[in-house]
Each structure stands twice: as structure tokens, then as C-alpha cells.
Amino acid sequence: MDNTRSVSDENTMKTYKRRYFILMLLCASIFTSAFQIYEQSSIGDVIIKYYGVTYLAVSWTAIMDTIPNIFLFYPLGKFINYYGLRKTMLLATFLCAIGSIIKCTALNRDHYWLLIIAKIAPCFLNVVFFYLAPVLGATWFKPSEAGLVIGTFNAAFSLGAASTFILPLLFENENVEKTKILFLTLSLLCVFIYATLVFLTILIVVDQPPSPPSLAAKKRSETKKLPFKVLITNRNFVLVTLISFFVLGLTQALPISLNQSILSNFKGNENILSLAGTLYLISKLFGGFISPAIARKYPKYKILLLFHLILTLIFTFLYLLSLLISLEWLLYSSITALGIVFSGFIVLIIDYAVEVSFPFPESISISVISMAFSLSALILTQLITILAEHLNTLSSYFVFVLVQSIAILLLMFLTREMRRHEANRDENENELKLNV
């Protein structure tokens, strides 16, 4: 009887091509939001001259997405869990379009405050898109594909952020009037993209497939609601959250501080800044695909995470050395390597967080990880910016070395726990029985 039920369960497991279209829409949403988040910080010197503000003020345009992650992470996770994928995507893309429209009106040189208001939507709702990625992976994709879903999503974010480093070349030596026209053009382009995404979301996105893609997804949907206490008392999940706090903030603090650090150590060379920023963010594409592919064949998360952290520490030292001696090829190679390793680490830590928190809803467990990430990014970005202004950029970057060392120490206390894979093991056993 048990065998009959197992075979029946296996026959109901199915994946659908629609999942790729939904993933494409989610990737397009995060691409556009990432562009808007880093748009001002990538041309910090231009913003300073145009609006008459400081680097510290400009940095806030890129770290505003940390605020909802810190103060609203649990309500946002519950919102997604209650209203589902479709309604959340529709609301988020619509509000981002409204924010882009407001940004079109923030072109006067004394309207920096209005620019900040316009940035609220893409920055705050960027968080929501991040919460939706693991939900999509768990609901529509098989467990073995979840890492690649997160990798693809992070690659789209990296591409969006990387595209902003074309802007220093676009705005180079432009006068006030031409700068104003470029600001307006970029804002109108974002409005058009978001409006298109709203329309396509209405046509394509649904919350769940007709049949679950795996036994793990089926078991999760059948599990009764668990109290939040279950999550925050999970030892491995707490450790993963702490590691995320010390490491993931670096991935946002680094690109935000590039304008300040590179221009001060390479004699204000805009071409070096543009190329370094582009290399860092484009290289994140590779790590986002390579690391989950390795984890799929070799799911030893603790070893893989440790390997990534050690490499990160090494490449951080090389990056600092390149700034110290103003050596371009070392700057480009070290920052490219950092992009690859950072993105791989992000995918692995999120995938492992879903593993150890199963069957808790992904939207809530990932919201906790994102809260730790955002709190770290907020603290580190401000700390590095302030230290760079009062000391120098090299001294400020040793903060990166300190927090990475702490993360390596915490990682040693992780134990192997593969709840999602174990829940899905029956599916693999059934496949073997059917093939015999």
C-alpha cells in the first residue's frame, strides 16, 4: 500500500515551462531595481556637483533598501506568504513604476529630497523581489534546481548593478543641462520597463503550478503553520544568519564605495572606475552559476562556504594591495575574483538557509537572512564612508578583513543538516523503483 501511494505521489510530480517565464519576469524586475539602486552611487561625483550634496548623502541612495529589511522583514515575509507570488509581484512592479515617475520630477538642483522620496519604491521593493526568488524556486522548481534559480536571480541583480558603471562614461564632462536631460531619459526608461512588467505579470504569473514539482514542495504545502520561535531557535539557522550578517553586507558596501576609493587612489580616473565596477558586477554572473552547479553535485555546504570565505579574504587583501600601489591589472583581477566568490557565497548561503529551515516558509526564513544582510550593509557602508573621509580608504577597508575573519570562525560551528533534501529523498527512491 505504501509503495502504491509512493508511486502515485511520484506520478503527480511535474514541472512546467511557465516557471522559466516567471523567473524571467522576476529577473527583469530585479535588474531594473538594481540599476536604480546603484544609479546615483556609481556617479557619486556627478550627483555631488549637480545637487550640492556629500558622498555620505549619495551613499544613502544605494542603501535605502536596508531599511525595510531591518524593520519590516517579518511583516514583508508574512505578506508574501499570505498574498502569494502573483499579487506581490504586481504590487511591487506597479509601485516601482510610480517611484520612477516621481524621479522624473526630481530634476531641479534643489530637489535632492524629492529624489530620495522617488528612490523609496525601487529600494524598498527590491527587498520584496529578493524574498520572492526562493519562494519561486521552492514552489515551481525541483530542489536540485533551487540553487540555480537563486543564481540566475542574483546574476540579473548583478547585471542591473553593473550597467550603472557605464554611467560615469556617459556623464563625463557633461554640463548641467545635458546632465538634466540624461537624468530624465534614464527615469523615463525605467517607467516604460516597469509598466511592461506589470502587463506581463498579469498575463503570465500564477501562484502555484497545478502539480507540485517535488515531494519536498508537496510536504511543505501540507505542513501546518509553524510558530516563529521554531525558526529562531534553530541552531544552524541562527549561525547562518550571523554569518550572513558579517559577510553579505560586504557585497553591497564594496560597489557603493568604489567611486570614493578608486577615484582617490587612481588620480580621479573615471575610466578605471567604470571598468572596475563593471568587472566586479559582471563577474558575479559566473559565481552565481558555478557555485550552485558544484553544490548540486557535491552538497557539502559547510566545506563550500568555508572555501568561498577563505578565497574572499585572500582577494580582499589583493584588492587593498592594488589600491596601495595603484596597480591597475591587480585591481581588475582582484575585484573580478571578489565578484565571482561573493556571488557564489550568496547563492550557497541562501540555499543552505532554505535547507536548514525547511519546512518553514521560505519568504519568512529568507526575510531573516535579508535583515541580517541589510543591517550589515547599512553599518559597513556608513562606517567605511566615514573612516575613508577621516583617515583614508585603505584603512577603512580593513573593516572587511575583520568581519570576514569573524564569519570564518562562526562557520566552524555549523553542522550538516539537509532537511529539504531528506524530505525529497523518497522521490529519488521512487524513481529508482520505477526504473528497475
For the stretch 426-429, contacts whose Cβ atoms lie closer than 8 Å and that sit 24 or more positions apart, written own/partner, are: 426/6, 426/9, 426/215, 427/9, 427/10, 427/13, 427/214, 427/215, 427/216, 429/6
Query: What is the total count of domains within the chain?
Result: 1
Domain that includes residue 211, residue range: 15-430
276 lies in a domain? yes
Q: What is the pLDDT of residue 192?
A: 93
- Average pLDDT on 331-353 reads 86
Q: How far apart are CA 90 and CA 87, in angstroms?
A: 5
Higher pLDDT pick, 268 / 360: 360
Q: Model confidence at 207, in pLDDT bands (50, 70, 90)?
A: confident
Q: Looking at residue 251, which CATH number applies to its domain?
A: 1.20.1250.20
Contact criterion met (CB below 8 Å) for 340 and 284: yes
Q: How far apart are CA 88 and CA 367, in angstroms?
A: 15
- Hey, what amino acid is at 83? Y
1 lies in a domain? no
Q: What is the pLDDT of residue 221?
A: 56
| Mean pLDDT computed over every residue of the chain | 78
436 lies in a domain? no
Closest CA to 132 of 87, 186, 65, 66: 87
Contact criterion met (CB below 8 Å) for 287 and 295: no
Residue 73 corresponds to which cell in the numbers above? 522583514
Q: What is the pLDDT of residue 280?
A: 81
- Average pLDDT on 272-277 reads 79
Q: Model confidence at 1, in pLDDT bands (50, 70, 90)?
A: very low
206 lies in a domain? yes
Q: How far apart are CA 306 and CA 104, in angstroms?
A: 45
Q: How far apart are CA 31 and CA 170, in angstroms?
A: 19
Place of cell 584603512: 395
359 lies in a domain? yes
- Average pLDDT on 6-31 reads 74
Per the omega criterion (within 30 degrees of 0), is the bond before 209 cis? no
State the chain's maximal CA–CA distance in angstroms: 78
Higher pLDDT pick, 211 / 411: 411
Place of cell 509598466: 195
Per-residue pLDDT tens over the stretch 296-331? 777 787 888 888 889 988 988 888 888 888 888 898
**Per-residue DSSP letters for 155-204?**
HHHHHHHHHGGGHHHHSTT--HHHHHHHHHHHHHHHHHHHHHHHHHHHHH
Three-state DSSP at 256 gives helix
Higher pLDDT pick, 121 / 146: 121
With 0-12 / 13-18 / 19 or more C-beta atoms within 10 angstroms meaning exposed / middle / buried, residue 14 is exposed
Separation of first and last alpha carbons in the chain: 19
Contact criterion met (CB below 8 Å) for 75 and 128: no
Rg (CA), the chain: 22
Per-residue pLDDT tens over the stretch 102-124? 988 888 888 888 888 888 888 78
Which range, 2-6, 69-73, 166-170, is most confident?
166-170
Higher pLDDT pick, 76 / 256: 76
8 lies in a domain? no
Task: Give 281's Cβ-side CA count (13 Å radius).
Answer: 27
3 lies in a domain? no
4 lies in a domain? no
Taken as a whole, the chain contains a residue count of 436
Calculate the alpha carbon distances from 123 to 328, 348, 412 in Å: 32, 24, 34
In this model, does residue 216 exceed pLDDT 60?
A: no
In this model, does residue 228 exceed pLDDT 80?
A: no
Closest CA to 250 of 151, 389, 126, 380: 380
User: For residue 425, what are the contacts with CB-CB under 8 A and spacing of at least 6?
Assistant: none
